[in-house]
Amino acid sequence: MTAGSPPTTDAAELRVGDRTLSLPVVRGTEGDDALDISRLRAESGLITLDPGFGNTGAATSAITFLDGEAGVLRYRGYPIEQLAEHSTFLEVAYLLVYGDLPTQEQLNSFVTEVTHHTLIREEMRNFFDSFPTDAHPMAVLASGVVGMSTFYPDSQNIFDADAVEVTINRLIAKVPTLAAWSFKKAVGQPYVYPRNDLGYAPNLLHMMFAVPSEDYEVDPAVAEALDLLLILHADHEQNASTSTVRLVGSTHANLYASISAGISALWGPLHGGANEAVINTLEQIVADGGNLQKWVDKAKDPNDSFRLAGFGHRVYKNFDPRATIIKRAADRVLAATGADDDLFEVAQRLEEVALNDEYFVGRKLYPNVDFYSGLIYRAIGFPKNMYTNCFAIGRLPGWIAQWKEMMSSPETKIGRPRQVYVGTGSRDYVAIEQR
Ligand code: CMC
């Protein structure tokens, strides 16, 4: 089956009153089939109601496949385990955005393009200066990304393939610079300019951790671990931030605006912000004396809003394959950096307690991608509030690929859910003195 042309075979029948409606069944490549309800309201007056969209397909997509029951994740058909072992982040970015693994020539040209767009406009230094020192880097990143559209008005030409391509290259190139500078601002250090002789992950480490007064050598093991994390985060089909990018993009807002909205959606602790929340929780547990059962019980208490960050997933109900890869990598990074691994031990023991607890087992709550990723960012030396920025850099090619797919699909319309109104019926206006 080719992208954008899902075969429609068979039909399900729905009885509404004395009428029988026929709902076409749309077949996915891997048996992930759907009922096409797009004519339902026109034919029956009914809409569907699905808070949280747990049962709603918003698009047909040929980018990422995941099977939550079997713990399978593939980008463009390639298993995440193989990409994690053999590929690089920029190659994966190319794969996601353009649909196939690049030839050597295509990869060289893509890497050259991205590498030569890493500088941000010098006027943007003032932009960083104008935020308070303790500004959260996610706020700065989201603002910086939409702010870039002011420098590149060609990004408004969303149907011009050349303008879109240069916008894509600029985004992939400049977001690490914006992310690193948001950190430099927070720690009061001089902004460090990108180095085009370095690879993608080494350059991010350089911009984050170098200072003009000293030499900074990128540790290859650390750069490799960061590149791996970026690969593992690169796409995850229709999650909250990706759906946000698609929804904003469906209004024909430019790509910078759409990606900035995705970054804001990612920030929340139920989504990408969970990596920061996990480390906060582990630190709290240690500071509180290390009684793991107490915190697991707190997470289970329906009267307590506390949840165990890094556990559970809307789609994965067995294991998150990204978490399995990250846990192994965490071991390697901690060994390479010699970072203190107290929290890693606490995390492993917490996982064991939770996975032997009926509440977590019964609800199929397993460690997700964020459970161990924060520990790697921490070992590398990133401050907690930068973890989700790193996630955003990784997710960027996925957001771009999803935006591009949506923009080129004949199925696309402006995203506009409906509602079931349950408020007051019609009533007359009452003058203020009579209320
Ligand atoms: N700790 C304790 N209980 C939990 C947790 C948790 N982390 N996650 C889910 N539950 C319970 C939940 O209370 C519910 O119980 P009950 O059936 O008794 O009401 C049941 O498990 C099902 O959970 P849900 O909230 O209906 O599931 P959801 O699909 O709406 O939410 C989730 C998914 C990821 C938001 C949720 O599991 C969660 O809040 N996890 C912690 C935050 C987190 O780690 N987020 C990162 C997700 S992966 C990366 C990413 O998306 O960026």
pLDDT tens digits, residue range 139-154? Answer: 999 999 999 999 999 9
159: left (phi over 0), alpha (psi -120 to 50) or beta: alpha
Q: Tell me, in angstroms, the distance from the centre of ligand 1 to residue 271's CA.
A: 10
**pLDDT over 60 at 198, yes or no:** yes
> Looking at 233, 235, 313, 341, which residue is catalytic?
313
| Backbone phi, psi, residue 73, to 5° | -140, 125
Give the pLDDT mean for 296-311: 95
CA distances, 398 to each of 65, 99, 388, 430 (Å): 12, 11, 15, 51
**pLDDT over 70 at 425, yes or no:** yes
- Asked whether 274 lines ligand 1 (CB < 6 A), one says yes
> Among 235, 315, 363, 366, which residue has the most ligand 1 atoms within 8 Å of its CB, making it the best to mutate?
363
Cβ contact 68:313 at 8 Å: yes
Say which residue the tokens 């089939």 belong to. 33
Mean pLDDT of the residues in the chain:
93
Closest atom of ligand 1 to CA, residue 311: 7
Q: Give residue 331's pLDDT.
A: 81
Q: Give residue 233's pLDDT.
A: 98
Ligand 1 atom 20: the closest Cα is on which residue?
A: 363
**pLDDT over 80 at 341, yes or no:** no
Structure tokens at 221: 């093991």
Which has the higher per-residue pLDDT, 10 or 164?
164
- Asked whether 311 lines ligand 1 (CB < 6 A), one says yes
Nearest CA to 225 out of 334, 114, 320, 111 is that of 334
Reported as a pLDDT band with limits 50, 70 and 90, residue 85 is: very high
Q: Tell me whether residue 313 is one of the annotated catalytic residues.
A: yes
Reported as a pLDDT band with limits 50, 70 and 90, residue 328 is: confident
> Helices then strands (H, E): number in the chain?
18, 6
Strands 19-26 and 8-16: antiparallel
Rounded distance between C-alpha atoms, residue 15 and residue 160, angstroms: 46
Structure tokens at 270: 């139920």
Size (the chain), residues: 435
Rounded distance between C-alpha atoms, residue 22 and residue 42, angstroms: 13
> Which amino acid, residue 172?
I
Q: Tell me whether residue 236 is one of the annotated catalytic residues.
A: no
| Backbone phi, psi, residue 82, to 5° | -70, -40
- Asked whether 262 lines ligand 1 (CB < 6 A), one says no
Ligand 1 atom 9: the closest Cα is on which residue?
A: 312
* Per-residue pLDDT tens over the stretch 33-68: 999 999 999 999 999 999 999 999 999 999 999 999
> Looking at 227, 235, 320, 370, which residue is catalytic?
370
Rounded distance between C-alpha atoms, residue 54 and residue 274, angstroms: 20
> Which amino acid, residue 289?
G
